[in-house]
A and B are shown apart, each in its own frame.
Chain A
């Protein structure tokens, strides 16, 4: 009997001790957890990098080279459920020198369910290519369509404020963006006479007091969101105050579409996208270069460009290797004003075969041929052929 009582007591004491120990552990764990518990604000560093090898043949000239590409670190900072900052830096070689630039840096404030206001330098929602599709791990080809990028007619980024958001009207989703920015600027030929009448985009100290305004409306006619149609516009004075060009205006328009669908009978994902850009700049007289008698010339300053891109990825078939492959085709065209020293009328066909290591890492093999390229001052059309192997990785 004594033994039994003794063992009950022992078990009892041990249990109490064990509970004590357990609660000490619990308390410790809780303390640890609380010290690690995330606060409201969160910071994240990500970005992307791409690099590759290119063979470019133009007329009788041919170039073979490795290309550094671009490293683009992106900072994201969430201050609260309403406040957010994003900034993308871009490091690349320009004319043999490594340079850092800033692609965008802006802060967003969520006003309510339907409206977010942004201020700073942002990618302009002119169509979808620049704002939503150009990063190397998203763009399915290693190059941009004609009309975008260097000497392009489509706006890229600017500094200002933007209001954006989305709402449903029945089952139709509508998203909108409206902004006020410093605006594009007219190249009047002072620095580069052969580019007189072109627009430059990006951020520069503003050349006039007029601010440009623009926006985009995107509509999803189907409730599954597979199709989006977008309409964009941007207007503003582009000439410098106090110059003979001070009343020169630019009116830019774009139409874009996107159709993304899993097609069961093809066991593939189909992605069809396109954008049409139109640019109209008021007539102005530009100085004939290398002429000492003060002669002027003018032209009807209208440009347009478009691209259509189709990609197919057999993402639903059994073979794991084939599932990671993607075929891409893109056709694009650019027409710059007749009579301008930058007159050009090129068309481009680009084909690509991609291998996706994961959702944001891709090896791109591509071939592209561009007809009708012209030098600024000697518009004799030439053809450029390009082969490339690129790797791009979002991180």
Chain B
């Protein structure tokens, strides 16, 4: 039981921490273009995916997959997906 409480406290702290920093978040991400995020982020685990691989619709699904798997923030995902959809 104690462990569950600890976990809840940790999660609570994380949430509190994130809302405190939410203004800065936008600053770091908004200074980068979708292409830059793609070049920096999408190379970390596998080769960067060629934008031409998928249609706009398919990129939409893949983006959500990667948002979850690669722990991307929704802002990062949105920028990358818009870049991929414009370059395919």
Are A114 and B15 in contact, with the CB atoms below 8 A? yes
With A169-B24, A178-B11, A218-B71: A258-B44 Cβ-Cβ less than 8 Å: yes
A223 CB contacts on chain B under 8 angstroms: 28
Using Cβ atoms and an 8 Å threshold, which residues of chain A touch B45? 128, 132-133, 138
Q: Tell me if B28 and A168 are in contact (CB < 8 A).
A: yes
**Complex Cα distance A358/B64, Å?**
23
Instruction: Tell me the minimal C-beta distance from A83 to chain B in angstroms.
Output: 9
- Closest A residue, CB atoms, query B3: A213
Q: Does A279 contact B (CB under 8 A)?
A: no
Pick the residue among A44, A108, A215, A360 that contacts B49 (CB under 8 A): A360
A70 at the interface (CB under 8 A from B): no
A57 within 8 A of B: no
Q: When each residue 154-190 of chain A gets 1 if its CB lies under 8 Å from chain B and 0 otherwise, what string results?
A: 0000000001111111110101111010000000000
Residue A38 CB within 8 A of the other chain:
yes
Decide yes or no: A76 and B48 within 8 Å by CB, A260-B43, A269-B43 being known contacts: no
State the total of A-B contacts with C-beta under 8 angstroms.
114
Contact between A168 and B29, CB atoms less than 8 A apart: yes
Q: For residue B77, give the distance in angstroms from its CB to the closest CB of chain A.
A: 10
Classify the secondary structure of A's interface with B.
strand
Whether A167 and B28, one on each chain, are in contact in the complex, defined by CB atoms closer than 8 angstroms, is: no
With A78-B61, A359-B47 as known contacts, state yes or no: A166 contacts B72, CB within 8 Å: yes
> Cβ of B73: which chain A residues have Cβ within 8 Å of it?
113-114, 165-168
| Inter-subunit contact B44/A164 (CB<8 Å) | no
Stretch at the interface among A224-232, A328-336, A341-349, A370-378: A224-232
Per-residue B-contact encoding for A76-98, CB less than 8 Å = 1, 0 else: 11100100101000000000000
Could you say which of B24, B46, B57 contacts A38, with CB atoms under 8 Å apart?
B57
Contact check, B18 vs A167: say whether CB atoms are below 8 A apart: yes
- B70: chain A residues at CB < 8 Å are 132
B11 pairs with A360, CB closer than 8 A = no
